Amino acid sequence: MFNDIQQTIEDKIKAWSAANDITLATLKWTAIPFSGEWGVSTSFFQTAADEARAGKGTGKPVPQRAQELAEQVKVQMGSVEGISHVEAIKGYLNVYFATGAYARRVVDTVLASGTDFGRGSAKGERVMVEYCQPNTHHSFHIGHYRTTILGESLARLTEFAGFETIRASYPGDIGLGVITVMWAYDKFYKGQEPAGVHERGQWLLKIYAEATALLEKHDDETPEQTTQREAYEAERREMYRKWDVGDPEVRALWQETREWSLAEMHDILDTLDVKMDVFFFESEVDEPSKAIVQELIERDIATDERSIGGPVIVKIDEKLGLAKEKYRTAVILRSDGTSLYLTKDLALARVKFEQYHVDRSIYVVDFRQSLHFQQAFKILEMWGFPQAAKCYHLSYGYITLPEGAMSSRRGRVILFKEVADEAVKRVLSVESEKSGDIPESERESIARQIGLGALAYSILSVDNNKDIVFDMNEALSFDGRTGPYIQNAHVRANSILKKVNGQLPPAEFRHNMEKHEIELIEKISRFPAVVEQAANEYRPMVMAMYAYDLANTFHSFYHAVPVMQTEDGEVRNARLRLVAAAKQTIANALRLLDIHAPDVM
């Protein structure tokens, strides 16, 4: 956390190596495996190996030579301000911090920074995170939730790490699926409309599933059924055509039903505390996207095969001179002149670069689109956008059901709303036996925080490229490595602090600290580095792991180390400040995971 001490040591090592004609490899600092004290560690394996390769070594095995070097440095080190002692062990140089001074510094820094503890310095780069791409006219299911929570957490991380961050959503509000719902609604349900935002959204999903069944070809259908199906199909096609040419009636129907879905989506985003900066609607990028195709043809990036009845394509592998198939050939415009997913994404990327001036563009989209994005990024590169190098597809695995993939068309989905409601219900059912004193007026809201926290954590704590087989009991578990476990650490910290009404007199940390105290301080001090890592690697999971680790350390501390019962006032004050610092760090970590940190539960 504090690099100045580390820097002092590093300078000393460099001076020593220069004086002794030793070619020092780059020093990498890591945390020492915890053993009751804390500090940082670096090794000399690389330096020893370099020596051996250069032929100027001593002929000794690398580990032995590394240990020798570490010992020499240790002898050479002398005393350094803020360092209690140094040890050379197994080729590593372990530098231990002077406990009291370091502890005080960490705790004071956290308390002074508050909600800003861990915030990175401004990076001078603008990041756009595109996530939450639900289709309208269906309902928001648990798969949409995964991109939303993943993207929101990532956006919070990049923002906190110091990147200027723009949150973007790209709802699919037009396409065959949308038209299918409109057709069925218009034909069978015109004028009807259930009350309630979510009821309406879910009703559309039901209509979609019904419509799909009507339009699906069956092997054993009778001639009458075939005629019927083909007539339906023709009606749907006609409706799409009318939408395309801007028929007022169809457009009005579209606007109305689209609004139902968007209302539901906004309600869910509110529930999740997601504040989008920009919405790119598929319907709005459709028309402009066609214009870029001509430009790509003129630049000789795309090949127009329309004269022979074909589409417009980009032969990526051929253009790159690749012998093996890798990016293949991408179609960027249908032979009938209509746009495709890729057409729109290329156009959208240009808007992001030129209108929003983004330096990095991150797409939180499921892993099945990985070829699509590889193609898109390559084409952008050929097109001459340097930002293409900093485009990143954060792919994630599907959420499937035990019986197989979810399918909106078959109506076989787990809706986010169902899960969220169930989560709150389950929390309320255990609140009476497990909770502390929760004011009646807050019970519902805290139950929501805990339920949604459990759900969010169950998604964020799994590596994004893993598939998740959705299990309600697992997703909403409150025990062990879960959101509520972390929230509970925050609550316990708060319950101690309540007893002094938040009064935190200064403290020196001169007492002989127990290992649980030291370990807690060590974990807290790692938070800023974890923020950097999670943001740089685009991995919310790193923060999820850390949050658990920190809470786990706090729970152990809480159990083993008395705070209010401490007789010595000086020690009590120090521990109170440590508890406050832990509470703050837990809250900051949870916030980056889009999880609330309640004061009671």
Partner RNA sequence: GCCCCCGUAGCUCAAUGGAUAGAGCACCAGCCUUCUAAGCUGUAGGUUACAGGUUCGAGCCCUGUCGGGGGCGCCA
76-95: contacts with RNA (CB under 7 A): 89-92, 94
Picking from 256, 287, 121, 246, the residue whose alpha carbon sits closest to that of residue 182 is: 256
Q: Does 61 bind RNA (CB under 7 A)?
A: yes
Cβ neighbors of 447 (< 8 A, separation 6 or more) are: 424, 427, 428, 431
- In the chain, the amino acid numbered 179 is I
Which lies closer to RNA via its Cβ, residue 357 or residue 466? 466
Which lies closer to RNA via its Cβ, residue 18 or residue 430? 430
Residues between 524 and 543 with contacts to RNA, criterion CB under 7 A:
541-542
Q: Does 13 bind RNA (CB under 7 A)?
A: no
Residues between 131 and 150 with contacts to RNA, criterion CB under 7 A:
135
Beta-bridge partner residues of 394: 364
Q: How far is the CB of 278 from RNA (least distance, A)?
A: 18
Pairing assessment for the beta strands 164-169 and 83-89 based on DSSP bridges: unpaired
Which among 37-45, 139-147, 235-243, 409-417 is the span making contact with RNA, rule CB under 7 A? 37-45
Letter string b/e over residues 280-317, b meaning 16 or more CB atoms within 10 A of that residue's CB: bbbbebbeebbebbeebbeeebbbbeeeeeebbbbebb
Picking from 70, 110, 142, 138, the residue whose alpha carbon sits closest to that of residue 414 is: 142
Q: How far is the CB of 409 from RNA (least distance, A)?
A: 10
Beta-bridge partner residues of 83: 97
Which lies closer to RNA via its Cβ, residue 248 or residue 309? 309
Which among 222-230, 262-270, 544-552, 580-588 is the span making contact with RNA, rule CB under 7 A? 544-552
Please state, in angstroms and as integers, the Cα–Cα distance from residue 108 to each residue in 369, 507, 577, following that order: 47, 9, 8
**Which string of x and - marks every residue 304-323 that binds RNA (by CB under 7 A)?**
-----xxx-x-x--------
Tokens 């956390």 — which residue? 1
Q: Does 462 bind RNA (CB under 7 A)?
A: yes
Q: How far is the CB of 13 from RNA (least distance, A)?
A: 15
Report DSSP letters for 397-411, one per residue.
Answer: PPEEBTTB--BTTTT
Beta-bridge partner residues of 412: 407
Are 147 and 132 spatial neighbours (Cβ–Cβ below 8 Å)?
yes
Q: How far is the CB of 8 from RNA (least distance, A)?
A: 19
Which among 11-19, 147-155, 200-208, 332-340 is the span making contact with RNA, rule CB under 7 A? 332-340
Which among 8-16, 188-196, 226-234, 491-499 is the span making contact with RNA, rule CB under 7 A? 491-499
Q: Does 73 bind RNA (CB under 7 A)?
A: no
Which lies closer to RNA via its Cβ, residue 263 or residue 462? 462
Q: Does 189 bind RNA (CB under 7 A)?
A: no
Are 550 and 585 spatial neighbours (Cβ–Cβ below 8 Å)?
yes
- Of the candidates 6, 76, 329, 536, which one interacts with RNA according to CB under 7 A? 329
Pairing assessment for the beta strands 83-89 and 92-97 based on DSSP bridges: antiparallel
Tokens 């476990």 — which residue? 485
- Identify the H or E element spanning 562: none
Q: Cα–chain-centroid distance for residue 418? A: 23
Residues between 148 and 187 with contacts to RNA, criterion CB under 7 A:
172, 175-176
Q: Does 62 bind RNA (CB under 7 A)?
A: yes
Give the binding-site size for RNA (rule: CB under 7 A).
Answer: 99
Which lies closer to RNA via its Cβ, residue 46 or residue 109? 46
Tally of residues, the chain? 601
Q: How far is the CB of 52 from RNA (least distance, A)?
A: 6
**Three-state secondary structure call for residue 439:** coil
Q: Does 325 bind RNA (CB under 7 A)?
A: yes
Which lies closer to RNA via its Cβ, residue 260 or residue 558? 558
- Of the candidates 350, 492, 526, 596, which one interacts with RNA according to CB under 7 A? 492
